Amino acid sequence: MRWKKIPGPLKIDVEELSEILAIPMTVATLLLQRGIEDFDSAKDFFRPKWSNLHDPFLMQDMKAAVLRIQSAIENGERVMVYGDYDVDGTSSVALVSLYLKDKIAELLPYIPDRYSEGYGVSEKGIEKAKAEGISLIISLDCGIKAIEQVNYAKEMGIDFIICDHHLPDKKIPKAVAVLDPKREDCSYPFKELCGCGIGFKLIQALQMHLGLPDSELSSYLDLVAIAIAADIVPMTGENRILTFLGIRQFQDYPRPGLNFFLKTLKRPLNVTDLVYVIAPRINAAGRMDHGLNAVELLMNTDKESVLPIARSIEFFNTERKTTDERITNEALQQIKLNNELNYASTVVYHPSWHKGVIGIVASRLIEHYYRPTVVLTKSEDILAGSVRSVSGFDVYQALEACKDSIIQFGGHKYAAGLTLNPDQIDLFRSAFEAYTKGSILPDQREPSISYDLEISFKDLNLKLLRILNQMAPFGPKNMRPIFATHQCKDAGGSRLVGSDKKHLRFDIIDSSGDRFSGIGFDMGQYIMEIKKQKPFSILYNVEENQYNGNISLQLKVKNIKF
């Protein structure tokens, strides 16, 4: 990997902030890199609080949305809460449904089937609403481009409120209200909410309009935190506040269905647990079965009746892992057999591959061949594909350049989906490779890792760790700090660990003579070079290690260079 140092602030600014906050220069530098420049911004950063959330009525169309829902409450209307089948969508549907269930006469949560309906608002979903006597649909995490579908619903006498966070086109659907901070005419101060975050702003506005206390909304914050973590939105502004409060809610009052997946956790919950433990399981419901199972898991508060749902989702997640590992291996074999090792892009296809995991497979292939990747499978009479990109390369633009060989596509810079006719695959493969080869920059062809600071081991201590931990929750634009230390050598105890001896337990000193232990996952191949006493540099996070009641520092090594 290429190592890229995050630009550092001016020394005079570091010294000034260090003095104002009475913190080490190391921490002052980290804060300035994150835009924390004075006492007030540091206070808000380290102590996220409810009062710093924005007024939801600053969002364009919020008043219209609230008045339409109030009308539905007063007139005893039947309402559908419609969301995408991923974590953000299912969490959104659970959140709004839980809030409205004792206010709306008849409430129908709805998640489209990934295979028969696909992403977004579907005609089938609207027809289901009509058959159920629904007069209002609230769509979450989708709908911003559903112009035809909203018109179709209108013809059937069904109103729409859209809550979406994706980038709109110049024209937006003619709904009663379209809540999306990314609208050009929306002056809402924070633009990076996920779909569930916008759903939360909707219920916050309703709560204010109905004259009910803010404190009643705390019970929904865990759902918002899960969605924020899973959707990889920036961990700044309102996202950071909602995640901070949501994790606290999760720890104090864990939902029985989610607690099933975390019952062995012996430490405080963090964002990593949401991303790598909770999110894949919620996603697995929509990938391998149906997203409504995830909604039921999130809404159910009865410990006994929720257990079978949690167990079935755990089974689906196990099945998902087995399936994506098998397909990844088949795809890697296909790349080798087709002699495509040196291509600028990857396009692989097999008619039997599971549509629910091809996005995961595309990401896994990038770990092996770092290049824009398309994984295709058969879906009824057409081919459906997932596209993933590498840092800096816009796959949406690549698909735009190949649109003559595509039925339709959608997505954003780093992830997209597409459909094409079976007889278009060779044309598409050639067009995608040609565009990628001609457009990708040299530094986009190899993975890189950014780090915050170069320090020596003498700068590491428990006080620093305590402050670093208070910088959580971590996520995009507030990642856990990564440090670089040079001139490291084996102190004698470095060894291979793990049942398959693939991991490396570091026991090292640096030029200051300080000694630390650390772990490098899948770094076992470096043991021989380290034992030769060759000096090397490492990139790492600082973590807490508890053993026999004693707390010490441990390095989690991310990369190594000799």
Q: What is the pLDDT of residues 115-152, one digit of tens each?
A: 888 888 999 999 999 999 999 999 999 999 999 999 99
Closest CA to 382 of 423, 435, 330: 423
Structural contact between residues 44 and 52, judged by C-beta atoms closer than 8 angstroms: yes
Query: 338-444 in CATH: which number?
Result: 3.10.310.30
Token reading at 429: 């493969």
DSSP, collapsed to helix, strand or coil, labels residue 506 as strand
Supply the DSSP string of 408-471, one letter for each residue: EEEE-SSEEEEEE-GGGHHHHHHHHHHHHHHH--GGGSS-EEEESEE--GGG--HHHHHHHHTT
pLDDT higher than threshold 80 for residue 548: no
pLDDT higher than threshold 90 for residue 457: yes
The one-letter code for the residue type at 255 is: R
Confidence of residue 412 (pLDDT cuts 50, 70, 90): confident
Residues 368, 526: Cα–Cα separation, whole Å:
19
Q: Is 208 exposed, middle or buried (0-12, 13-18, 19+ CB in 10 A)?
A: middle
Token reading at 522: 């899948």
Q: What is the dihedral of CA 481, 484, 489, 494, to 10 degrees?
A: 30
Q: Check: CATH 2.40.50.460 for 449-561?
A: yes
Residues 182, 172: Cα–Cα separation, whole Å:
12
**Dihedral of CA 433/436/441/447: which sign?**
negative
Give Cβ neighbours of residue 47 (< 8 Å, ≥ 6 apart). Answer: none
Instruction: Give buried/exposed letters for 420-436 (b at 16+ CB in 10 A, else e).
Output: beeebbeebbebbbebb
Predicted confidence at residue 114, as pLDDT, reads 83
Structural contact between residues 537 and 560, judged by C-beta atoms closer than 8 angstroms: yes
Beta strands in 368-411 (DSSP E): 373-379, 382-388, 408-411
Structural contact between residues 181 and 205, judged by C-beta atoms closer than 8 angstroms: no
pLDDT higher than threshold 90 for residue 169: no
Omega before 473 within 30 of 0, i.e. cis: yes
Average pLDDT, the chain: 95
**Domain segments of the chain as ranges:** 56-304, 338-444, 449-561
Residues 308, 310: Cα–Cα separation, whole Å:
5
pLDDT higher than threshold 80 for residue 486: yes
Token reading at 284: 């697995």
Q: What is the pLDDT of residues 280-315, one digit of tens each?
A: 999 999 888 889 999 999 999 999 999 999 999 999
The arrangement of secondary structure in 56-304, i.e. its CATH architecture, is Alpha-Beta Complex (3.90)
pLDDT higher than threshold 80 for residue 21: yes
Predicted confidence at residue 377, as pLDDT, reads 97
Q: Do domains 56-304 and 449-561 have the same CATH topology?
A: no
Predicted confidence at residue 534, as pLDDT, reads 92
Give Cβ neighbours of residue 230 (< 8 Å, ≥ 6 apart). Answer: 86, 87, 88, 91, 274, 275, 278, 279, 282, 283
